[in-house]
Amino acid sequence: AQSVTQPDIHITVSEGASLELRCNYSYGATPYLFWYVQSPGQGLQLLLKYFSGDTLVQGIKGFEAEFKRSQSSFNLRKPSVHWSDAAEYFCAVAPGDTDKLIFGTGTRLQVFP
Amino acid sequence: DAGVIQSPRHEVTEMGQEVTLRCKPISGHNSLFWYRQTMMRGLELLIYFNNNVPIDDSGMPEDRFSAKMPNASFSTLKIQPSEPRDSAVYFCASSSANVLTFGAGSRLTVL
């Protein structure tokens, strides 16, 4: 069965610092991979997705993620974090033949001024 | 595009009462999902529909939960009778081309 692991429950960074959120997946083939962001009291918003092709994908709000097949990882990065990036971030995986998403447990990002 | 619309946004009810949550997906999206989010269990997929047909309801907790999608523009998630452990945020999402768009959620509190 597919699964997603986000090993960091809570991360704190200073505004302007770089950010990397980790995500590992378990799946026999190359899945579809996603990062979503959830602000307090809001629904989930898609940041970026990987289906195939270039393993470095660009998303909204200056985020990017890199698919590494050898490590079964899809880490999210941002070179300079803004205070408005404070939120919860979810990595998700879906088999290629279905829209059914399996989510990780999320990483809560706190940004200090 | 108004996005995925859920109602009510907040519901407070007493144990034993029936709760109905509603969802209007994005027009043209052919799949619809119901998720539940709690602190303890995170985001759980309850059920999903494709072309109005339930495809996978393995995440539905028990017989107290039921979901319907009578047409392409409307779905309901019903809990009868409700229990305090059902307190959570329930999200509806619809998808096109393997990308899910989420509604703002319905926060349910069962006293």
B2-28 residue pLDDT tens: 899 999 999 999 999 999 999 999 999
Residue type, A58: Q
Helix (H, G, I), strand (E, B) or coil at B44: strand
- Residue of B95, B102, B104 lying closest to A99 (CB–CB): B95
State pLDDT tens for residues B81-107. Answer: 999 999 999 999 999 888 899 999 999
Is B28 at the interface with chain A, CB within 8 A? no
Which residues have CB under 8 Å from B45's CB, separation 6+? A100, A101, A102, B33, B34, B35, B56, B59
Residue contact A46–B101, C-beta within 8 A: yes
How far away is chain B from the Cα of A45, in angstroms, using its nearest Cα? 7
Q: What is the mean pLDDT of residues B27-51?
A: 94
pLDDT reported for residue A46: 95
Is B106 at the interface with chain A, CB within 8 A? no
Q: What is the mean pLDDT of residues B16-45?
A: 95
Structural contact between residues A65 and A71, judged by C-beta atoms closer than 8 angstroms: no
The burial class, CB within 10 Å (0-12 / 13-18 / 19+), for A107 is buried
Chain A residues close to B48, C-beta within 8 Å: 99-100
Residue contact A105–B42, C-beta within 8 A: yes
Chain B residues close to A36, C-beta within 8 Å: 102
E strands present in A1-113: 3-5, 10-14, 19-21, 24-26, 32-38, 44-50, 56-58, 64-68, 73-78, 87-94, 102-103, 107-112
For residue B44, what pLDDT band results from cuts at 50, 70 and 90?
A: very high
State pLDDT tens for residues B49-90. Answer: 999 999 999 999 889 999 999 999 999 999 999 999 999 999
pLDDT reported for residue A96: 67
Chain A residues close to B95, C-beta within 8 Å: 99
Token pair, residue A95, equals 């088999």
Residue contact A46–B103, C-beta within 8 A: no
Q: What torsion do the CA atoms of A6, A64, B99, A28 make, to the nearest 10 degrees?
A: -50
State pLDDT tens for residues A21-43. Answer: 999 998 877 789 999 999 988 89
Chain B residues close to A90, C-beta within 8 Å: 43
Is B89 at the interface with chain A, CB within 8 A? no
pLDDT reported for residue B88: 97
Helix (H, G, I), strand (E, B) or coil at A83: helix
State pLDDT tens for residues A53-97. Answer: 899 999 999 999 999 999 999 999 999 999 999 999 999 998 767
Nearest CA in chain A to B97: A99
Helix (H, G, I), strand (E, B) or coil at B5: strand
pLDDT reported for residue B96: 87
Cα A107 versus chain centre, distance: 9
pLDDT reported for residue A29: 76
For residue A100, what pLDDT band results from cuts at 50, 70 and 90?
A: confident
